[in-house]
Amino acid sequence: MVLENLPLLTIGDTGWGDELLAGCLVTLELAFCALAIGLVLGLLLAGAKLSKYAVLRGFGEVYTAFIRATPEFLILLLVYFGSERAIQSLLALVGLPISFEMPRFVAAVIGLAAIFCAYAAEVFRGAYLAVPHGQIEAGIACGMSSWRVFHRIRLPQMWRFAIPGLGNLWMVLLKDTSLAAVIAVDDLLRQAKIASESTRAPLTFYLAAGAIYLLLTGVSDAARERLERRAQRGLARAQG
């Protein structure tokens, strides 16, 4: 049955291959945008959880607990409908009679980044604490400022400790982009669903989508291993 439907996967007017490739591109755009925002927010959230101020630490703990306890599916719905309602209410409050509609792609990116940053914060927090304190003291003893110690000593080693965990989170993020279909973002899974409903060949298109996800995760895993080896090069020389 699947082999008989292979012509449906061709590119052109008679096939759905170009639609699947377009959906794959949207999936990658979602993942990379959410990754960029999530990394920045994750660093800030990790800083809050490591702060000496109880308010910041409390905010970090509450936010992380909320994200962990809430289904990702629900978070995307809350971001999409909640942010639209909040912005509309704010516009009405300041007297601007403007109708606002949250872009679906933007809502998906914000939701995915909000999820990613909560878990990335834990990775960054662990990586921060893993840097030997003696090296920090040595930098301060050499007259380095706190920012220079962080930038030249702690941050490079944080990345080395964080790469494995962040790599795993990236794999999860890449697959979680499929949740954007619930708010009608034309990602890979939604395109596969539309194609399957139009052709009545769901197995063919869902298997094709699964193969594309497998390819993306395989390439991502290879990239993560390369980054890990690159980060370990200086350490290996030092130990040798």
pLDDT at 152: 80
Q: Give backbone dihedrals phi and psi of 96, rounded to 5 degrees, phi first.
A: -100, 110
Q: What would the two tokens of residue 209 be?
A: 């989508």
Nearest Cα to 192, choosing from 60, 3, 5? 5
Q: Which residue has the higher pLDDT, 237 or 223?
A: 223
pLDDT at 228: 85
Q: Phi/psi class of residue 184: alpha, beta or left (left: φ > 0; alpha: ψ in -120 to 50)? A: left
Q: What percent of the chain has pLDDT over 70?
A: 95
**Which pLDDT band, with edges at 50, 70 and 90, does 209 fall under?**
very high
pLDDT digits (tens, 9 = 90+) for 106-163: 999 999 999 999 999 999 999 988 888 888 888 888 888 877 887 788 877 888 889 9
Q: CATH assignment of 19-239? A: 1.10.3720.10
> What angle do helix axes 17-49 and 188-199 make, rounded to 10 degrees?
150
Q: Phi/psi class of residue 122: alpha, beta or left (left: φ > 0; alpha: ψ in -120 to 50)? A: alpha
pLDDT at 118: 95
